Chain A
Amino acid sequence: MQRYNVPVLVCLAGLALCLASQYGWLDLYVQTTIMFLFINVIMSTSLNLINGNMGEFACGHAGFMCVGAYVSSIVSVALFAKSSYFGEPLLDPSWAVVGMPLSLLAGGAVAAVTGLLVAFPSFRTRGDYLAIVTLAANYIIMSVFVNLDTVGGPRGFMGMKKVVSAMNDVLDIPWMMLWTFAFTVFTVFILRRFLWSSLGKGVMAVHQDEIAAEIMSVNTNRIKLVAFMLSSGLAGIAGGLLAHIMGYVNPSAFGILKSTEAMVMVYLGGMGSLTGAVLSAVLMTGLGEVLRPLGILKWVVIPLLLVLLMQFRPAGIMGNRELADVFPRLRRFYKFK
C-alpha cells in the first residue's frame, strides 16, 4: 500500500481551494463559510489544549481572540492603510502582502502574553475556581477595548478591508483564503508536534495527576505557562484572521457567547482529541450553514442535536482518542512526522 505524504496532500488541498476561489468556482458565500470554518478549527483545537488535554475549564477563549483581532488590525491598519484613527499609512500599502501575516503573528504574540493573565492564577488554583478567573479575563479584555476610544471603543474598529484590497492591488489572488488556510494548517501542525512530544505529554500528566507530575520532576508551572500561552496565542491568530475577513472588529463580538461556541466544539469533538476538535469545528460550521433555511428553528435543532449526542456519546464524538486510533487502517495511508 502506498503511503501518501501528508504535507503534499495539504498543499494540494490549499492550492485547490485558492484556485477555486480565484476562478469563481466557489461563490463568495461559500468562500466566507470555508474561512469561518478554518477559524473555528483554530479556535477549537487551541481551546482543546486547555480544556481537553490539560483538563482545565477555560471559558474565556474569545477574550484572547479579541486581543489578537484588535492588535493585528491596529498594526496592519496603522502600517498599510489610510484611516481616521492613525491618518496616513506608515509604510507603502503594497508592503501589506508581507506585513499582513506578520501583523497576525504580532496579534498572536500579544494574545499569548495576555494569556499570562490566566496562566499565573492557574499555578495556585484549578478547576471551577480557575474557570471563574478565565471568565473574568474575558470580561476584563472586553471592557478594555470597549473603553479604548482611540480605536473606536464600543463602535468597533475598521479599515482592514483597505489592507486586504491593498494586497489585492499587488497581486489579485484570494489572500485571505490563502492565509486562513495556512494558519489553520500551522495551528494543527504545531499542536500535533507539541502534544506528541515528551514535553507536551506533560500537559496530559498535569491533567491526570498533578501531584504525581510534580513529584516525577515535571515542572508543572512551566507546563501550564506554555499551554496557556500557546492556546491564547493561537486564539489571537484566529481573532486576527476573523477581523481581516470581516473588515470590522467589535468588542461585543468576543463575549462569553463566542467562548461558549469554542467550548461546545471542544466538548462535542471529545476532550483531548485533536482530530475530534477539527471534526467538530467542521461539523458545527457545516450544520449551522446547512440548517440555515430553517431560520430561527435552527437554534432549536442544533442544541437538540447536541443534547442527543451527549446522551448517546457522553465523551464527545471521538472521546479522547484520535482518528487514527479509531480507524487504525488510516495509518497505512499516511505518515506524519
Chain B
Amino acid sequence: MLTLRNLGKTYANDVRALEGFSLTVAPGEIVAVIGGSGCGKSTLLRLISGLDNASRGSVELNGDVVRQPHPLINLIFQEPRLLPWLTVANNVGFGLAEIEGEDRRQQIELALKKVGLADLAQRWPKELSGGQAQRVAIARALVTQPEVLLLDEPFSALDAFTRADLQDHLLGIWDETRPTLLLVTHDIDEALVLADRVIVMRPWPGRILDEIKVDLPRKRDRTSAAFETVKRQLFKALDTSLQLS
C-alpha cells in the first residue's frame, strides 16, 4: 500500500511545485496522474522515488516512510537512460549487483524475455531503436521485482505505433505479477487505456483537481462508446485545469 500524505515541495528558488497532495494507491492498482506543465507531475515522482525529499508531508510504503530510494520502488524515466558502456544484458542486470553467476544470468534473461528482447542481450545501447531502448529500461526496472513502479511519461518520446504497442506490453507485464503502477502522463488516451483511476492536476502550485474512475474491463477498446464517455469526462476536467493555469 502506497500512501502519500499531504505532500508538498518548494524548491530552493521559492517555486512551489507541489502542495497538499494526498493519495492512497492499493497494491496492484494502476493510477495515472495527468495535467499540463507546471502541475508538479515530475516532482511528485521524484518525491515518491526518494530522489528528492518532500518539503512537507510524507511518502509511506506499507507503513515505512520513504526518504531515499527504496528497494521496492523503481522509477522509469521519460528517456531510457541506459548506461552506454554496458551491454543490454548488463544494463538489465544493473540492479542485481549482489546476485552473480547463473542466477543473475537467468533473471536477466527472464526480464528481457518479458519485454520481448531476449535476442538483443549482447547489443550495445547505441544499437537499439528508441522503443527497444525504453523496453530495456522497463526490463531493468522489473528485474529487481519492485512492488511499486513509477513511470514518468515513459512513452512520450516514441511514435504513435510504438507507444500503443508498449502500452499493451506494459499491461501484459503488469498482469503477471500485478505491481502497483503510478504513471505520470500528458496523453489522455494513455491514461484511459492503462489506469484504474486518473488523477487530474491543476498548476501553480501543483494540486489535485479531480479524480476520475475508469471502470472498464481491460484490454480496453479505444473506440467503444463507454471509452468515449470517460474520455469526455476527463477532457472536461482537463479544461478546468487549463483555465486555472
Report whether chain A binds chain B.
no
